[in-house]
Structure 1
Amino acid sequence: MKALIFFGHGARDARWREPFDRLSALWCEQQPQVPSAVAFLEMMEPNLAEAVAQLVGQGATAIQVIPVFFGQGGHLRNDFPKLLEACQLQFPQASLSASSAVGEDTQVLQAIIDFSSRAI
C-alpha cells in the first residue's frame, strides 16, 4: 500500500501546523485510497519516524515524503537525508522515498504568482 507524508520544519507556535493539517485533510478528501500523515523536523510532533510508524502500522509498504519547504536549504540537504535513512533502517519493511521541496516545482511557484495577482 502506498502512503504519503507531508514533512515540514515545525515551530513553537502550535497554530503554525494548521496549514499542514488542512493539506493532509484535503489530500484525504481527494485521494482517500492513499493514506497521509504530517511530520515535522523539530519543535512539533509527530516527527518523521513517528509518522512512518503510524503509516506502516496501517499497512503502508511504500511511503513518499513530500518536503513542504520553499527550497533546498541546509535542513533538506543535510538533516533530512539522515532522518530518512534512519527511518529506512528502522522500518525495512517499507520503501521510503522523497520528492524535491514543493517550492522548487514550477506549478507551485505559478500558484503563488496566481495568488499574488489576486491579492493586488
Structure 2
Amino acid sequence: MRAIILFGHGARDVRWREPFDRLIGLWRAQHAGTPVELAFLEMMQPSLEEAVAALAGGGATQIIVVPVFFGQGGHLRNDFPALLEECRGKFPGVELSATPAVGEDLAVLQAIIDFGARAL
C-alpha cells in the first residue's frame, strides 16, 4: 500500500500548523484511498519517524515524503536526508522516497503568481 507524508518545518506557534491541517483535509477529500500523515522537522509533532511508524502500522509499504518547503535550504539539504536515512534503517520493510521541495515545482510557483494576480 502506498502512502504520503507532508513534511514541514514546524514552529512554536500552533497556528502555523493550520495550513498543514487544511492540506491534510484536502488530501483526504480528494485521495481517500491513499493514507496521509503530517510530519515536522522540529518544534511540532509528529516527527518524521512517528509519521512513518503510523503509516507502516497501518500497512503502508511505500511512503513518499513531500517536503512542504519553498526551497532547498540547509534543512532539506542536510537534516532531512539524515532523518530519511534513519527512518529507512528503522523501517526496512518500507520503501521510503522523497520529492523535491514543493516550492521548486513550476505549478506551485504558477499558483503563487496566479494568487498575486487575483489580488490586483
* TM bucket normalised to smaller: over 0.9
Give 1:46's aligned residue: 46
Describe the SS at the equivalent of 2:69.
coil
Aligned partner of 1:23 in structure 2 is: 23
Structure 1 letter corresponding to 2:20: F
- 1:82 corresponds to: 82
Stretches of 4+ aligned residues off by more than 6 angstroms = none
1:8 corresponding residue in structure 2:
8
- Match of 1:76, SS state, is helix
Q: 1:57 deviation in Å?
A: 0.7
What 5-or-longer segments of structure 2 have no aligned partner? none
Aligned residues: 120
Cα distance per residue 1:51-79 (max 9 Å; x no partner): 00000011000000000000000000000
| CA deviation after TM superposition for structure 1 residue 104, in Å | 0.2
Aligned-partner Cα distance in 2 for 1:45–1:75: 17
| TM-score, structure 2 normalization | 0.99
Q: Quote the offset at 1:119 in angstroms.
A: 1.0
RMSD between aligned residues: 0.4
For residue 93 of structure 2, what is the aligned residue in structure 1?
93
Query: What TM-score, normalized to structure 1?
Result: 0.99
What percent identity do the matched residue pairs reach? Answer: 68
